[in-house]
Amino acid sequence: MVKLDLLAILVPALPLLGVFITGFGRRKLSAYAAGGIATAMVALSFIASLILFLGHDGQTHIVHLFSWIHVGAMDIPFAFQIDALSLWMMLVVTGIGTLIHLYSIGYMHDDPRVATFFAQLNLFSFSMLLLVMGANFLVTFIGWEGVGMCSYLLIGFWYTTPAFNYAGRKAFVMNRIGDVGMLLAMALMFYQFGTLNYVDVMQQGGLMASGNPLIVTATLLLFLGATGKSAQLPLLTWLPDAMAGPTPVSALIHAATMVTAGVFLVVRSSVLYELAPYTQDIVLWVGVATALFGATVGLFQNDIKKVLAYSTVSQLGYMFAALGTGDYGNGMFHVTTHAFFKALLFLAAGSVIHALGGEQDIRKMGGLKGVTKTTYVTFLIATLAICGIPPLSGFFSKDGILASTFAANPVAYAVLVFAAMLTAFYMFRLLFLTFFGTYRGTAHPHESPKVMTVPLVVLAILSAIGGLLNIPHIFGGHSWLNTFLASAADGIGMHPLELSAGTEWTLMAISTALVLLTIWYAWSLFCKKTTLDGEPADMPFLKRLIAKRWMLDELYAWLFEKPFGWISKHFFSIGEEKIAVPLTAGTGKATLGFGEWLRKVQTGNSSFYLFAMMVGVVVLLILTYFSA
């Protein structure tokens, strides 16, 4: 299988090559050259993934590059795992990545550090591919940290604004909290299984009893890592702040790919999760709570990207809810469709921002329908898709999740349907305020160049027809994606829905009807007339609480920052100033004084040196004699 090996190495190697070319040539390359090279590298990587995908035979292939860590019983190879799951993620990452790289050529063309931007974007693609292709937890962890670092770099890309740097730092620190969980989980698994290779861990783990405390702990810790990366409660406050980065970054990293890494990790370890029902319950409820949280906060945001960010949080909650019910196939399906329509939403929002010369406040938009036609149409398609209007892609993935949640827990189902209604409300509020009514700003809107609209159109088509990937049985489909992924992860397809066709039809009708109702309500509020929200201070209590993100940041500040600040301050004033500094400075002073005294031994008189040496020899010999 030389061809497979070569292609598997090429997929991550090409973006890495792009990093070197654009990174080292950043002073020489023009904006278009850098963008072109970076895009070409990811596109070639996509083609390589496609060839691998088309030639896939349903088996799991391990591509062994070299033995990486070999200490005692620990043998960790640097290897890639090519199976249905990683292939699917590779396609999503490189495919969406190519479109977003292409879009960035237009979006970033007048930035002075455009080549650096593309180098970092390519580095992100490389890390993300490493993450999804790794054949053991440690290789995945490299990618995991790599995407975290790229996320930090790209959030703070415009580093001259301090707030952006703080946002990047916040994302990094929050991710670290999750990473600790992942590291501990790896240590635990290595302790238990003596290996970190997915294949071996899953094989050995699969033999253990359900509810084994060790597996529950390991899966909980892994889930902690996933909550950090995928912005689930309680580690989600970094994602809205991460919108400080350039819009293509928000689209690629904070909507389409990196934030789904947590979902990927859980699906990758699905065998273990299947054995830990407690963890599954926790995953379900965290997902449901996050979905509701994101949807509510999205209601009253005025920044176009913030609305989308909370929407992302909410949709990620859906994915985890699906994972919590054991419906891994629909979770991955939603990852895919969400990657389509959320990337599209972000790119379209970027197009709007670009058209308005950097304006992000939806209160100063409006009436853009006529000016930016392509953007409007694609944004509309994406909005319909995310709201779950049939037959767009979001309908299939979301209803799949809702159905499996209903089967698992009706209460969770009710909450998710409510969140879906909220989603429809805030998305259409966004749509109406941005594109309908009259223009309320001062800039001169213009449609974006072709290089930006082409990706929009492609993504719009994908958002529209993406549902075809996984048509459920009741529509006469064969759940193709589920079947495809089932060869990779044992958990997928293990729970056939135990709902009658009638129940499923009813569920779909209910959710669709409720969503349509909400859309009508939003229309009446924001399209017939224009209702603008003021500042949070003027709102009634509950609304103010929601608009201020349920005070989550303030809660963390009160819960962690203040006590830690207090402890740090006292550690500094007592530990540092009273103990550590005198100790270290005193040591230095003592050494200096002793040296000052001792240097008098250095007389420069060679006879004296000789004498000292002889005395030393005598003393040594005496010591030897008496010790022998």
- Give the nearest distance from C-beta 624 to other proteins in angstroms: 6
Token reading at 621: 């010999």
- Give the nearest distance from C-beta 19 to other proteins in angstroms: 50
Please identify which residue in 532, 555, 559, 621 interacts with other proteins, judged by CB under 8 A.
Answer: 621
Closer to other proteins by CB, 585 or 622: give it: 622
Angle of helix 304-324 versus helix 393-408 axis, rounded to 10? 40
Cβ neighbours for 241, distance < 8 A, ≥ 6 positions apart: 155, 166, 167, 170, 171
Helices and strands: H and E segment counts in the chain: 26, 2
Closer to other proteins by CB, 537 or 628: give it: 628
Closer to other proteins by CB, 438 or 602: give it: 602
Q: How many residues bind other proteins (CB under 8 A)?
A: 18
Closer to other proteins by CB, 442 or 624: give it: 624
- Give the nearest distance from C-beta 613 to other proteins in angstroms: 10
Closer to other proteins by CB, 32 or 608: give it: 608
Token reading at 240: 């809205």
Contact between 226 and 163 under an 8 Å Cβ cutoff? The reply is no
Closer to other proteins by CB, 6 or 617: give it: 617
- Give the nearest distance from C-beta 623 to other proteins in angstroms: 10
> Tokens 């319950």 appear where?
281
Contact between 324 and 284 under an 8 Å Cβ cutoff? The reply is yes
Closer to other proteins by CB, 442 or 606: give it: 606
Please identify which residue in 160, 438, 442, 624 interacts with other proteins, judged by CB under 8 A.
Answer: 624
Closer to other proteins by CB, 513 or 598: give it: 598
- Give the nearest distance from C-beta 192 to other proteins in angstroms: 56
Please identify which residue in 2, 73, 209, 628 interacts with other proteins, judged by CB under 8 A.
Answer: 628
Integer angstrom CA distances of residue 628 from 220, 616, 619, 625: 60, 18, 14, 5
Contact between 128 and 49 under an 8 Å Cβ cutoff? The reply is no
- Give the nearest distance from C-beta 224 to other proteins in angstroms: 59
Q: How many residues does the chain have?
A: 628
Contact between 188 and 278 under an 8 Å Cβ cutoff? The reply is no
Between strands 74-82 and 61-71, the pairing is antiparallel
- Give the nearest distance from C-beta 591 to other proteins in angstroms: 16
Beta strands in 290-436 (DSSP E): none
Contact between 179 and 144 under an 8 Å Cβ cutoff? The reply is yes
- CA separation for the pair 335, 262 (Å, rounded): 11
Contact between 7 and 51 under an 8 Å Cβ cutoff? The reply is yes
- Using CB under 8 A, which residues numbered 36 to 75 contact other proteins? none
Q: Would you count residue 627 as binding other proteins (CB under 8 A)?
A: no
- Give the nearest distance from C-beta 603 to other proteins in angstroms: 6
- Give the nearest distance from C-beta 590 to other proteins in angstroms: 19
Closer to other proteins by CB, 572 or 611: give it: 611
- Give the nearest distance from C-beta 594 to other proteins in angstroms: 14
- Give the nearest distance from C-beta 609 to other proteins in angstroms: 8
Identity of the residue numbered 539: M
- Using CB under 8 A, which residues numbered 601 to 620 contact other proteins? 602-607, 610-611, 614-615, 617-618
- Give the nearest distance from C-beta 82 to other proteins in angstroms: 55
Closer to other proteins by CB, 66 or 597: give it: 597
Residue 569 pairs with which residues in a beta bridge? none
- CA separation for the pair 77, 503 (Å, rounded): 49
Residue 134 pairs with which residues in a beta bridge? 80
Q: Select from 412, 365, 409, 95 the least CA-distant residue to 252.
A: 95
Closer to other proteins by CB, 69 or 598: give it: 598
Alpha helices of 356-409 — where are they, by DSSP H? 373-387, 393-408
- CA separation for the pair 619, 628 (Å, rounded): 14
Contact between 239 and 312 under an 8 Å Cβ cutoff? The reply is yes
- Using CB under 8 A, which residues numbered 542 to 601 contact other proteins? 599
Closer to other proteins by CB, 542 or 628: give it: 628
| Greatest Cα-to-Cα distance within the chain, rounded to the nearest angstrom | 107
Cβ neighbours for 128, distance < 8 A, ≥ 6 positions apart: 93, 97, 143, 146, 147, 257, 258, 261
Residue 76 pairs with which residues in a beta bridge? 69
- CA separation for the pair 624, 628 (Å, rounded): 6
- Give the nearest distance from C-beta 596 to other proteins in angstroms: 10
Closer to other proteins by CB, 163 or 610: give it: 610
Residues that bind other proteins (CB under 8 A): 599, 602-607, 610-611, 614-615, 617-618, 621-622, 624-625, 628
